[in-house]
């Protein structure tokens, strides 16, 4: 028994790497991989799922673009800077994966995750990987079951006609009588080094992992974007339960709650406008036990008396900060015994960047300067004073709801867990 135990201890543990291919020269949508989807860079959705799955020894983004590299590192990935030879329009995924494997000899299994699949969840990756680590498969790829009748266009005697491919038109089956077909959904591909070096992504002892249709989202062209955004808000993975503990929102008045404009006349006082939707958003947060503090700084040209009116209107504390915004915000947190992960911050300019970076959740209006947009974790579709605060409030409450549901269920619909009775993933050996 002792020699067997020793051999087991000395066995080389496989290095399993996640690899997201993110070339900068996308033709369908410019810089698609880092375009904001529901307030998160597209690539951020899959990076969050990969990292939170805790299944990978390393998580990589292969890119040729500086901005994509910056976003990738911000979201916790390592970067493989791909060569010009595998950065062309004609380059296939296998070429880029082979270059990565050649430069990273320590990697035994590569999981190529598509950046354009934002509804990927950690459990999808965990359960698919177990087919390799526990059942001995060499390649596993994700599929979705479709019930589509397919026809082929053929030319007969100079005329274009059609013929059925997967049905007999005289005996069209009902949906419930037909198992449908398995189609690659492009979400991920697990492959061993041996197969990659042989020029294969799918091969050897091969299996598929079935994902439910609601999680099978792919983005190729602009028209896919709004559909994907609605789908990801409902079925996307929003992270672990840390977002559920947001206790406090600090919101800038000028440039967030107001549009930052101050009409001035010779005969009358300065005026600002406040959007009723934003006020209602603040009230909604307070009803869900998220405290809200409205803040201003020395740089803000707020009319006198506005602070008191806003305080009465929103039932919120209004605080004026001096030059050290981060230090004063930290003092507010300390007085309430809060950590940064429990704080949401909404700002709009360079003086807010440090707080936007540190806060567990942060946002800026869509018309904020680039420096603030890059620092925020959520970029609103709405402009300052035109519903941006309400939008961020909705986002905070959605994340709290999602995180709470994920904690309670501890499973993904359509996957089999010990405390879940829904349909398990289907696994099949492909000949």
Which residue, chain included where needed, has tokens 């989807």?
37
Which region, left, alpha or beta, applies to residue 207 given φ > 0 means left and ψ of -120 to 50 means alpha? beta
The span from the CA of 29 to the CA of 25, in Å, is 9
Give catalytic status of residue 283 as yes or no: no
Q: Which residues contact 57 (CB under 8 A, 6 or more apart)?
A: 15, 16, 17
The span from the CA of 78 to the CA of 15, in Å, is 15
Query: Is the dihedral angle over the CA atoms 422, 423, 425, 429 positive or is it negative?
Result: positive
Report CA 125 to chain centroid distance, whole Å: 15
Report CA 281 to chain centroid distance, whole Å: 24
Catalytic residue among 146, 172, 234, 336: 172
CB 370 within 8 A of CB 261: no
The span from the CA of 274 to the CA of 276, in Å, is 6
Q: Which residues contact 28 (CB under 8 A, 6 or more apart)?
A: 220, 221, 222
Cα dihedral: 73, 79, 83, 85 (round 10): -90
Q: What angle do CA 232, 124, 430 make, to 5 degrees?
A: 120
Which residue, chain included where needed, has tokens 């619909």?
413
Q: Which residues are catalytic?
A: 172
């Amino acid at each position: 028994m002792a020699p067997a135990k020793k051999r087991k201890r000395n066995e080389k543990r496989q290095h399993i790497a996640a690899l997201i291919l993110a070339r900068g020269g996308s033709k369908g949508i410019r810089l698609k991989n880092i375009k904001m989807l529901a307030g998160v860079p597209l690539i951020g959705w899959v990076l969050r799922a990969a990292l939170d799955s805790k299944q990978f020894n390393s998580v990589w983004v292969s890119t040729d673009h500086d901005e994509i590299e910056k976003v990738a590192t911000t979201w916790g990935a390592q970067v493989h800077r791909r060569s010009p030879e595998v950065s062309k329009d004609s380059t296939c995924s296998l070429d880029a994966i082979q270059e990565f494997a050649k430069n990273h000899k320590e990697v035994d299994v590569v999981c190529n995750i598509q950046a354009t699949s934002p509804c990927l969840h950690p459990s999808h990756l965990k359960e698919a990987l177990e087919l390799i680590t526990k059942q001995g498969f060499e390649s596993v790829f994700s599929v979705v079951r479709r019930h589509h009748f397919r026809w082929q266009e053929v030319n007969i005697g100079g005329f274009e006609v059609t013929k059925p491919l997967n049905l007999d038109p005289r005996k069209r089956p009902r949906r419930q009588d037909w198992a449908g077909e398995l189609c690659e959904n492009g979400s991920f591909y697990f492959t061993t080094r041996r197969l990659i070096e042989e020029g294969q992504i799918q091969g050897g002892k091969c299996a598929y992992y079935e994902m439910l249709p609601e999680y099978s989202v792919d983005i190729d062209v602009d028209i896919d974007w709004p559909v994907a955004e609605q789908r990801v808000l409902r079925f996307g993975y929003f992270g672990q339960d840390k977002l559920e503990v947001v206790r406090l929102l600090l919101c800038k008045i000028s440039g967030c709650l107001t549009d930052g404009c101050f009409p001035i006349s010779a005969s009358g006082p300065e005026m600002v406008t406040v959007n009723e939707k934003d006020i209602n958003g603040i009230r909604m947060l307070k009803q869900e036990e998220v405290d809200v503090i409205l803040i201003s700084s020395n740089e803000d040209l707020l009319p006198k008396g506005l602070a008191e009116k806003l305080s009465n209107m929103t039932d919120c504390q209004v605080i004026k900060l001096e030059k050290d915004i981060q230090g004063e915000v930290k003092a507010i947190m300390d007085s309430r015994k809060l950590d940064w992960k429990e704080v949401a911050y909404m700002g709009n300019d360079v003086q807010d960047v440090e707080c936007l970076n540190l806060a567990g959740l942060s946002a800026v209006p869509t018309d904020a300067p680039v420096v603030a947009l890059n620092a925020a974790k959520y970029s609103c579709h709405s402009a300052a004073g035109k519903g941006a605060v309400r939008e961020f409030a909705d986002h905070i409450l959605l994340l709290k709801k999602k995180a709470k549901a994920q904690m309670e269920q501890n499973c993904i619909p359509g996957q089999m867990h010990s405390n879940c009775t829904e349909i398990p993933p289907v696994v099949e050996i492909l000949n």
